[in-house]
Every structure is written in structure tokens, then in C-alpha cells.
Structure 1
Amino acid sequence: MNDLSYALIDNLPKAELHLHIEGTLEPEMMLAMAKRNKVELPYKTVEDVRAAYQFDCLQDFLDLYYLGMSVLLTEKDFYDLTWAYLERVHADRLTHVELFFDPQAHTDRGVAFETVLDGITSALEYAKRELGITSKLIMCFLRHLPEEQAFEALECACKHKDRIFGVGLDSTENGIPPSTFAGVFEAARREGFTPVAHVGEEGTAENVREALDVLKIERVDHGNHALDDPMVTKRLADQQTPLTMCPISNWRLKGIPSLSASPVKRALDAGLLVTVNSDDPSYFGGYLNDNYRAVFKHLGLTETEVIQLAKNSFAGSFLSDGEKQEQLDRIDHQVNTLRGT
């Protein structure tokens, strides 16, 4: 990677469209919150926590992910968590984020929905004022819990439509088709929430098709296995449905054998609106720019393709057309500055 390539990745404005705020909980913060909230964890040191971050599959990660969440109890906890992420990625030239949160994982522990929401959104609002980072918040339903509980989360979200933009679907995909949540997604769409879903990470291209047809999602989170089916691939390319791919996450969870097997390059070559994101960066060891560097190095991307990925991050966002164009113009200006043209 030459100096200009490094400079492009480090300095291009970018959006992140696939980020679980609970997945930014760094070991140091996890232990500090456990201490102040008097939560017992099976770890004594940061090294103990990091040693646990060895995953053989998605479920291995989820078990640790939910354990880590147990330290998040107060509005301040959620504020501190969110602000730490935003401050960190500001250095990566992130200017817009559309982040996920999992309220069911907290309300099941007795933490009020509003406690979670107030902490997160206070940090988002502060970041807009202080860092110029804009945001949209997406509430995810947890697949491993029954749809009736998803309806309960939706009922809470309906009281806060001014702060929650969309709904998503995450947690383990195997054996749980998207249609399982058809009812709550239909209700959410009626209430004006924009639908997205994690599909095609563990599951097949059929899951992607079903999520498009039944849940009527407007963006595919992950979507790796969509590329296994030429018809689904063509549909996504023709409709320019965004895909939010997460290369380091896929590798750490053994969804791909190596970073050179990431489908990002194939998606670009197929004309898909693919974006690069970090997913759960604390657990997977890579924030936004780390993922850009990984695909550049291991997939042999050109600088033009790196620029395209940065532009795709805004084109695939839920910003208005005018806001998207403003960001795209900023990318062009930065490219010209770096190239001295």
C-alpha cells in the first residue's frame, strides 16, 4: 500500500452503516463499568477479556457479546459507550453513522428502554454538535427471541419515532428464516420505520430473497451469500439495494477462511452497492479504517475502488439526496487535494 493509498483511506469522509453500538464495548470500559456497577464478570484483567475473544462461529461471539452487555445498566453507561465510539471513529474521518442497538438484550435484564435510548441519543446529539457527525438510529429485533417480544420492543419504539429511524433484525440466523418476523416488520413499516435485516451472513441467498420479498427491507446487512445466486445478485445490482459488508467480522467469525476470501471485491465487480463496515469492532479487532485497509490489502483493490467504497457508504445511507451529494462532493474535493489536482 503506497502513501497515497494510506492517505485516501485515512482522510476520505465515510459513513458507517453496519455498527452495533454494544459491539464497541472495549475491554477496559467493560471492566470499569463492571466495577462501578458492581457486576461480576469471569475476567479480572484486560488480557483475560481479550483472551476470550476467540470465536469459532457467530454463536460463540454472541454468548460473549451478551455477557459483556451485562455491565451496561445506567443512562451514563450507554452515553459513555456511544461517545467513546464516536470520538474514536472521528479520527477515521467518519462523518455519518447509522448504528444498531439491541434494546431487548437490555430490557430482558430489567434496564428500561428509555435508559438505553436516552444514553445513546444524548451522545449522538453531542457528537453532531461537537464533531459534526450526523446519525440515524436503528432498533434491532433479536432473532433468538419470539416475535411477540419483538412486538413489545416495537411498542416502546413507537413512543420515540423522533429518535428511532428504522428497525432491523440480528442475532443468530441459522434455522430462523426472515418470514418468522413478517408480522412485526409489517407493523413497523406501517408505523413509518425503515426496515433492514441481517441476512446472508450464515444463511443462504434464499434468506436474502425472502427478506426482500416478505420483510420488504431497504438494505441488506451482510448479504455475503447473496452472491451465491446469480438471480439474487442481479436483482440487488439492478435495484442498487445497499449491502453492508463487514470483512474483519466475517473472518473473525470464520464465515470466510481468510480476508482474501471476502466477497467485497466480487460485489463491486458485479455492480452491487456494497459498503465496508466494522460490525462489532471491539470484539473483532478492527474499526472502520481497519476494514478499509484489510480489503485494500487482501483483495488487491485499486485506489479508484477504495474511493468508490467511500462514496457507496453515503449512497447506501438513509441521508437525503441533498445530504448525500454534499458528502460525495466532499470526497471528490478530498481526492483532488490528496492528488494535488
Structure 2
Amino acid sequence: MKRFIQQLPKVELHLHIEGSLEPELMFELAKRNGISLPYASVEQLKQAYQFDSLQSFLDLYYQGAQVLLNEQDFFDLTMAYFKRCQANNVVHCEIMFDPQTHTARGVDFATVINGIHKAQQQALTQFNISSELIMCFLRHLDEADAINTLDQAQPYKPLIKAVGLDSSEMGHPPQKFERVFALAKAQGYRLVAHAGEEGPAQNIWDSIELLKVDRIDHGVRASDDERLMDYLQSQQMPLTVCPLSNTKLKVFEHMAQHNILTMLQKGICVTVNSDDPAYFGGYMNDNFEAIADALAMTRENLIQLSHNAVDASFASDERKHAIKQMILEVSPR
């Protein structure tokens, strides 16, 4: 099964580029930029990765992002992720980035996006990995800040496929961002939002009905609402599920309790993703292996998860067809 997972072409739809900052690179960038970290070593930093909630992770996540200052930093961060993609047979990915995390520190929007985009171009030519960018708004900040970020993105609109909504879900419901999502839709962006991770199933409904999203990030709390489950199945509304993240942040205590297989068997368009892999213990193959092992998934289940991700992606129809052909080549007879 492990060999099959390695061979299976994959599409990742829920990846925060700042969350792929491995401890070794964090220390390297800190040294390069003259920034002192509150940890004496890589090992001590890794010991801090014991989270009891989404917020406990976010505190460390934003602290780690402080080392990203220059275009080269963002290029190096993104290239390191693409190398992981190549090793995990990820052939297309949709990368989330948080400009507010950086502009609030005085880092120009251009610095962030140019570094990431140059890595995207290199990954396409060097590894044949296609990618799209998703600009996320931080939901713990106000909507005016999000609208300002949308305005800052205007010169770089051709480089950004979609907008999203991340950070602390509790206390920051989707309706807080209804106007900025309407503006983004009018400007032609695709729309996604984190919902139903720590927050209730109602946040998923509100993201669909108020924000008009094309897909839901996380969405595991949908299983609390049978009517919502029926809707997700009938509309084939994609969920970008992140199994290792869910157990690391105690959404589920153990992987054996995860509901991804149940949702898959109900015909819901669930997908597998790594979220913030540097912090949550694994990239795509690790996530596939974890659910295959804990939930006794079949090869057909895993193939369906890959097909779902292709269907749910914002890739061109031509690229989707090409990836599906790759998946067919490893499908069991």
C-alpha cells in the first residue's frame, strides 16, 4: 500500500505555504536575516509542536513567519515545498498564502508574491508541477483590512486564482467577510473558505450561502448535520480535508475516529491535503498513509480521493484531463 500511495499522482488543494516552513529552514532564514528565535535549537523548536487547539498552533505559526523578509526567502520557502511535492508525486497544487501576516510586519505585498511566483515558474519547468495561488484573508482581523488586502492584490491579479479565509475560526463567523467575498467574486476570483474545522456545521452553510464559495476547506463538522451532508453530496461541493492536521489539533483524538472514509462512502467530494505540514507531521504521502492505515482504506478509495481532488481543483480542463490520465495509469485492473 505504501508503494501504491507513492506511485499515485496527487493533487493538493489545501496547503498554507507559511505552514511548510520546516524548522531547519526557519533557523537558516533567521540567521540570514539576523533574527533571533526563542528556541536554542531545531530540536527545541520541534518540542514546541504539541498543540491543544488551533490557536496554540497559530501562535507558533505567526512567530515562525517572522523570519520571512525578502523575495529570496519566499522563493526558498516555496521551492522547498515544491521539492516535497516532487518526492510525494504531487503533480498539481493550489497554494494558500497570507499577505496580511507579512504586510503587517512591513514586508511589501510584491516581495511576497514575486518570490512565490518565481518558484511556481521554476517548479513547472523543472518538475512539471502545475500550481495556482490562493490569497487568504486572516479572519481574526477586520473586514476593512481584508478589503485593503484585496486592493493591494490588484496589480498581481493575473497571478492569483482564488481568495480564501483562514486563521481562527471560533468567534469569527463567515458573515464577517460577506462584503469582501462579494467584491472578490465580482473581480473574477474563485472563492474558498475554512469552515467546520473547530467551528460548527453552521459555518459551512454560511460559507456556502453568504460567501458563495466554490469549495470548503476542512468541513469535517458537516457530519453533525445530515441535511448538510445530503447537500454536499447532491451538489458535489468539495471539502479539502486535512487528516494529520485534524488529529494534531485535536479535532479528532485518533485517526481511527476520522470521518473522511464515511464521507467518501456517502459520495461527498472529499479530498486529502496536508494543511501546514511542517507543523503537523507530514506531507501528502504521510496523510494518505495515515488514513489508509487507520481506516483500512482500499486502493479504490485512494484513487477516488485523487480523482476528487482533480475535479475540485481550479486547474484548466486540459490539465485536469492530463492528470486523470496519469491516475488511470496506476489504477488497479
Bin the TM-score by the shorter chain.
over 0.9
Post-superposition Cα deviations, 1:274-304, rounded to whole Å, max 9, x if no partner, equal: 0000000000111000000000000111111
Q: Residue 159 of structure 2 is aligned with which of 138, 160, 163?
A: 163
Q: Confirm whether residue 281 of structure 1 aligns to residue 277 of structure 2.
A: yes
The aligned residue for residue 303 of structure 2 is 307
Q: Residue 198 of structure 2 is aligned with which of 198, 202, 214?
A: 202
Task: Tell me the CA shift for residue 82 of structure 1.
Answer: 0.2
Q: Residue 238 of structure 1 is aligned with which of 234, 240, 247?
A: 234
The one-letter amino acid paired with 2:250 is K
Task: Tell me the CA shift for residue 322 of structure 1.
Answer: 2.9
Task: Tell me the CA shift for residue 307 of structure 1.
Answer: 1.0
The aligned residue for residue 75 of structure 2 is 79
Q: Give percent identity, aligned residues only.
A: 49
The 5 A counterparts of 1:1-341 are 5-335=1-331
- Partners of 1:251 and 1:257 within 8 A in 2: yes
Task: Tell me the CA shift for residue 312 of structure 1.
Answer: 1.3
The one-letter amino acid paired with 1:42 is P
Task: Tell me the CA shift for residue 41 of structure 1.
Answer: 1.0
Post-superposition Cα deviations, 1:189-221, rounded to whole Å, max 9, x if no partner, equal: 111111100000011111000000000000100
- Report the Cα distance in structure 1 between the residues aligned to 2:147 and 2:123, rounded to whole angstroms: 31
4+ long deviations beyond 6 Å: none
Post-superposition Cα deviations, 1:2-45, rounded to whole Å, max 9, x if no partner, equal: xxx22220011111000000000000000111111011210121
TM-score w.r.t. the length of structure 2 is: 0.99
Q: What are structure 2's unaligned runs of at least 5 residues?
A: none
The one-letter amino acid paired with 1:75 is E
Post-superposition Cα deviations, 1:234-292, rounded to whole Å, max 9, x if no partner, equal: 11111111100000000000111101111211110111000000000000111000000
- Partners of 1:248 and 1:278 within 8 A in 2: yes
- Report the Cα distance in structure 2 between the residues aligned to 1:206 and 1:238, rounded to whole angstroms: 18
SS at 2:136 equivalent? strand
- Report the Cα distance in structure 1 between the residues aligned to 2:136 and 2:308, rounded to whole angstroms: 23
- Report the Cα distance in structure 1 between the residues aligned to 2:243 and 2:84, rounded to whole angstroms: 19
